Amino acid sequence: MDVKEILDFIQLEKFLGYFSAVTGLDAALYDTGGVSLAANRRPGAICTAAAGCARCREHLAQGGRKSMELGEPYIYACGCGLVMCSSPVMCNEELIGSISCGPAMLWEADELAVEEITGKTAGMNIEITESLFAGIPSCDCINITGAAQLLFILVNSLTKEHSVYLQQRERISTQQRAIAELIIERKIAAAGLREMEKRTMALVYPAEKEKELIAFVQSGNKKEATALLNDLLSVIFSLADGNLDTIRVKLFELIAFLSRSAVDAGAPLREVNAITKASFEICEDHTGFEQLCFLTTRAMEGFIETVYRNRGQKQTSFHMTRAIEYIREHYMEDLPLGTVASSVYVSEYYLSHLFRKEMNQTFSDYVSKVRIDKAREFLRNDPTAQIQEAADKTGFKDPNYFAKIFKKSTGISPREYQAFFK
């Protein structure tokens, strides 16, 4: 990462000017090799006279590295024997440059000092004239230490905001790739349907996925919740046909749905309200496609975290979410109702009742749906795989039964579905 990509140089030059005005010290930005990129120096400064000196660059580069290692400002003697202070410029835990202040003297500006500096600069092609020497500021230890700490705080504020922005952009980009793949998959499936009725069915909003999402929010399973949310987002965008107003309404409705589920799971109203309010930007006209996705995901993660911190789930939701998690972890195995019921310590009758009441579907239908979702993912990722292999890896022992259930669920056969991705 180049430091020029991180810092706004117009703002940086203002910052360096203000810093120099307050502290009386020159300040400059350097790359990792000690080369000056921006500076605020008084006329006739000794650093200007020493520009291009290899010894100075070496000391400046070392100062940046040392401050990074220490995690705090590093005060040292520069190539001229004067006091300098460096603070690291970091991005994603990588050193990309340093900002230094100085040089300064910590001693009295007398003839002995002139002699010492002249000796230190021997071979640097610098003439220590009276005016050059007079331009070197004097500081005591308290002043230089205070300036060093101020510099460190300000540099961190300059880079932290951009690092957060980069992380947010990476999260948004990752999510957009996932949603785009799901939207393409739905369009491909819809295009392969033979009848308009089936095409319409392929784009019906899947209410059962909302219930699954709630289950994972209430259980704190962020990975599965994120995958389900992206799937729901892809459906919402497909159904809205690019109409952002429709998308905004549906997403805010979804957040309200999740907020109620978080409260039901024991999350404090105050925390849930704060998360919901933070997502109000969804309703603003200026909020675009990417930010809508990010705000929805952030709200969902907020609900997950507050539920996890306040683990007061209702027993019904607890057993339901545990059963769903068990099925999604063991979908490749034989999964009779009794096995899953035993894993969550309830009777077969009670678990069957929960699926009908909370998911509006039977236990076996839900297991089949999970397996079909996994089969679609498998066929999409490996377009050359055998249908028998897809059936085996997703818990279907009979490939003919697998093909029948797959077509019933998607409207096309596994082979037709697979062909779209070759």
Q: What is the DSSP string of 333-400?
A: S---HHHHHHHTT--HHHHHHHHHHHSSS-HHHHHHHHHHHHHHHHHHH-TT--HHHHHHHTT-S-HH
Which one-letter amino acid corresponds to residue 15?
F
**pLDDT one-digit tens code per residue, 319-350:** 787 888 889 888 888 888 889 888 888 888 88
**CA angle, residues 194, 196, 200, in degrees to nearest 5:** 115
Place of tokens 């068990």: 326
- Residue found by looking up tokens 């961190």 in the block: 156
Residue pair 331/300 in contact (Cβ under 8 Å)? The answer is no
Highest mean pLDDT among 96-100, 152-156, 414-418: 96-100
* For residue 103, pLDDT beyond 80: yes
Crossing angle for the helix pair 363-381 and 348-358, to the nearest 10 degrees: 70
Over 50: is that where the pLDDT of 166 sits? no
Question: Partners of 99 in the beta sheet?
Answer: 29, 87
pLDDT for position 84: 87
Q: 294, 293, 175, 318: which is closest to 236 by C-alpha?
A: 293
CA 74, CA 71: separation in Å to the nearest integer? 9
Q: How many Å apart are CA 34 and CA 194, to the nearest integer?
A: 67
Is a pLDDT exceeding 70 seen at residue 124? Answer: yes
pLDDT confidence bin for 194, thresholds 50/70/90: very low
Dist. CA 1–CA 170, nearest whole Å: 15
Between CA 51 and CA 364 the distance in angstroms is 76
Q: Write the CB contacts of 355 (distance below 8 Å, at least 6 apart in sequence).
A: 320, 323, 361, 362, 363, 366
Written as six digits, the tokens of 100 are: 């230094």
By mean pLDDT, which of 182-186, 193-197, 267-271 is the weakest? 193-197
Q: Residues 162, 299, 380, 327: what is their CA dihedral angle, to the nearest 10 degrees? A: 140
Strands across the sheet containing 74-77: 36-40, 27-30, 94-104, 83-91, 74-77
Burial of residue 173, with CB atoms counted within 10 A of its CB: 0-12 exposed, 13-18 middle, 19 or more buried? exposed
* pLDDT at position 202: 43
**CA-to-CA distance for 198 and 192, rounded, in angstroms?**
10
Q: Which two tokens stand for residue 73?
A: 């400002």
pLDDT in tens, 213-239: 777 776 667 777 778 777 777 778 777
Q: What is the pLDDT of residue 272?
A: 84
Both structure tokens of 400 = 């003919």
Handedness of CA 362, 364, 366, 369 (dihedral sign): negative
Please, is 386 exposed, middle or buried when counting C-beta atoms within 10 Å of its C-beta (0-12, 13-18, 19+)? exposed
Q: How far is CA 414 from the centre of its chain?
A: 35
Helices and strands in the chain: count of H runs, count of E runs: 20, 5
**What crossing angle do the helices spanning 289-309 and 141-191 adopt, rounded to 10°?**
110
Q: Give the contacts of 404 (CB within 8 A, at least 6 positions apart).
A: none
Residues 6 or more apart whose CB falls under 8 angstroms from that of 36 comprise 28, 29, 30, 47, 51
CA atoms within 13 Å, Cβ hemisphere of 38 = 17
> Tokens standing for 341?
């019921």
Q: What is the mean pLDDT of residues 342-371?
A: 84
Q: Residue 72's pLDDT band (boundaries 50, 70, 90)?
A: confident
Q: Please give the Cα distance from 60 to 95 (Å, whole number).
A: 13
Please report, in angstroms and rounded to a whole number, the separation of the first and last CA atoms in the chain. Answer: 36
Model confidence pLDDT, tens digit, residues 294-320: 888 888 888 778 876 775 444 446 778
Which among 224, 207, 321, 317 is positioned nearest to 264, based on CA atoms?
317
